[in-house]
Copies of this chain bind each other. A is one copy, B any other.
Amino acid sequence: MNIPNTDLPRVVIIGGGFGGITLTGKLLKEKVQTVLIDRNNFHTFQPLLYQVSTSGLEPDSIAYPFRKITRSSKNAFFRMTEVSSIDPETNTVHTPIGDLVFDYLVIATGSKTNFFGNTSIEENGMWMKTIPQALNIRSLILENLEQAEITSDPAHRKALLTFILVGAGPTGVELSGAIAELKNQIVTHDYPHIDPEEMEIHLLEGLGRVLPPMSEKASENAHKFLKELGVQVHLNTMVESYDGLLVKTNTDRTFRTSTFIWSAGVTGAPVKGLKATALVEKANRYEVNVFNQINGYENIFAIGDIALMATADYPRGHPMVAQPAIQQGKNLAKNIKRLIKGEKLTPFDYRDKGSMATIGRNRAVVDMGKLKFGGFFAWFIWMFIHLWFLIGFRNRLVTFLNWVYNYINYDKAARLIIRPFKGRKIQMEDKKA
């Protein structure tokens, strides 16, 4: 893999999500050699992926090349590849581009979409965990509108103009809000043959309220905001199957749709090679102690979504969002330094900084400790925090500028169908890219 052998202890980090890049960044100036491995050459700011899907932002606004991080230290390296397996006996990581021996290994591979074994959804639905997937959703939405514009068959038209989102967590809520804005701001003006009232956005949630991980107040507010935007929310509704057109649910209600977006759950994305007992089976996450050491290993760690640290406050692990990953990355950087020096490790202490979701312009909900509020001020806070956490000055500036422009002009400027013109069928097959 062409990584130089030095006297420095080697820390290999698998995955450049929030946890992986935080840790990499904190190790840049330390006396360790850091090797970050990711299948992409850039970090993805996942909280804003839904804006890429809905033509609000381009990928470069929310992506950050890993080499812009590793370039600042001669002891930091990036390798674009996948990890085939780990051999903990020999402290080796196997990849298609070669093997790498580590002193410390950090698994930060995050999570993947959970279909709960439902193959009809996996085969026919779309989901949004990566930039290519987000761009495919964008193209599909725009293609459906182009198609609806020239379709007179009422049943076909209805399927093209019906958007089904499953799972009312932050992703489902924010995405359905943004699609509703596309309807109100773009479809109204751009498609003379589509009556905006024809376009239906349905958000289906298995539990009894939207944003189940947030407060009751946030759920209420978000539900109200979604309704105001024209999103139809169906609670206590579980999807049983989707055959590419027909959606069957556990209620009498069925839908016919060309656009079925699944955001109803995630599960850990572990790597091959560790012993079975390291994994909490149902969650598919590695069981870690308070130092993020994986159960049964001393020099192998897991942070972020893939780590399950059972604590008194979080007996089933921390929420699978950015904050625990970032904080664990920071704490682990300190602990790796301590390990090298033979010092005592510091246990991880999670500080819940709250959670938030936005639902179209001027509307968001925020839970911050005892403070729970929704509306314009929450939306303002939401924007500020997201800009703040975006990586790099340029991304903040470009994103801010796009937001200002889109806000003033009621526009979504990036509505480009960018993939080869091969006809609809092949594009559908290609959708999981």
Interface residues of A (CB under 8 A from B): 1-2, 39-42, 58-60, 63, 65, 67-68, 70-71, 74, 77, 79-80, 82, 96-98, 131-132, 135, 142, 146, 149-152, 189-193, 392, 394, 397-398, 401-402, 405, 409, 411, 413-421, 423, 433
Of chain B, the residue at the smallest CB distance from A76 is B192
CA distance A421 to B133 in the complex (A): 12
Contact B401 A41 (CB under 8 A): no
What distance in Å separates the Cβ of A297 from its nearest Cβ neighbour in chain B? Answer: 27
Identify 9 new A-B residue pairs, CB closer than 8 A, beyond the known A97-B150, A394-B413, A398-B401: A2-B151, A40-B417, A63-B416, A65-B415, A67-B415, A68-B190, A98-B150, A135-B418, A394-B411
CA distance A193 to B414 in the complex (A): 37
- Which of chain B's residues have a CB closer than 8 A to the CB of A417? 40-42, 80
What distance in Å separates the Cβ of A70 from its nearest Cβ neighbour in chain B? Answer: 8
Count identical subunits in the complex.
Answer: 2
Contact B63 A190 (CB under 8 A): no
The one of B71, B82, B98, B191 in contact with A190, judged by C-beta atoms closer than 8 angstroms, is B71
- Which of chain B's residues have a CB closer than 8 A to the CB of A415? 41-42, 65, 67
- Which of chain B's residues have a CB closer than 8 A to the CB of A414? 60
- Which of chain B's residues have a CB closer than 8 A to the CB of A190? 65, 67-68, 70-71
- CB<8 Å pairs between A and B, sample of 29: A2-B149, A39-B421, A40-B416, A40-B421, A41-B142, A41-B415, A41-B416, A42-B415, A59-B418, A60-B413, A65-B190, A65-B413, A65-B415, A67-B415, A68-B190, A71-B189, A71-B190, A79-B150, A82-B421, A96-B423, A97-B150, A131-B416, A132-B418, A132-B420, A135-B418, A392-B413, A394-B409, A394-B411, A397-B405
